[in-house]
Amino acid sequence: MTILAVDAALLLQSGVIAAVVAGVVSLTATVVAGRRARLDRQRQVFATAFEVCASYKEFPFIVRRRNEGDTGERARITAELTAVQRQLSTSLALIQVEAPKVAEKYGAFVRELREVAGAEIRRSWELPPIPANASQSIGDIDLSRLVSYEKAYLEQVRKHLRLLSG
């Protein structure tokens, strides 16, 4: 074998090795970027779902603070409540696709939220609105039963994200 043939063989081997290394690096970068994108997307889904629950929890207070003489306000509050109900269902569906174990905790949280806060919303419609010149503090709405469900959901989200990012 001539020196030229040996040099060509070494050059070919070096090129193949470089191509394999570049391919592995590129594939690794793609996998890491995809994992980060998935993690960011899931964080957003979980945060939005929590935000929707927080919005629903506000409705007993919103209903109590309504303007009694404004019939349009009742329709507006009802429309907003309907939109939040729809967002709760949508969030649950998204989480079921993204993370079934998280969806179990979120589903339990939403069921309890609808039961507890829903009862408070119905009760608030039956009570007279708080006059505009009265204190805006409302002490007779109790949502404390939701705390353990909220914590269980957030803990499952933490576990899920830790597994995904680890």
User: Is pLDDT above 60 for 33?
Assistant: no
pLDDT of amino acid 156: 97
Could you read off the pLDDT of 81-127 as tens digits, one per residue? 999 999 999 999 999 998 999 999 999 999 999 999 999 999 999 99
Give the closest residue to 101 by CA, choosing from 39, 54, 152.
152
Residue 154 confidence (pLDDT) above 90: yes
Using alpha carbons, select from 150, 115, 140 the residue that is nearest to residue 61. Answer: 140
DSSP string, 75-126: HHHHHHHHHHHHHHHHHHHHHHHH-HHHHHHHHHHHHHHHHHHHHHHHHHHH
pTM: 0.78
- pLDDT-derived band at 32, boundaries 50, 70, 90: low
Q: Where are the domains of the chain?
A: 45-165
The pLDDT of 27-44, averaged and rounded, is 73
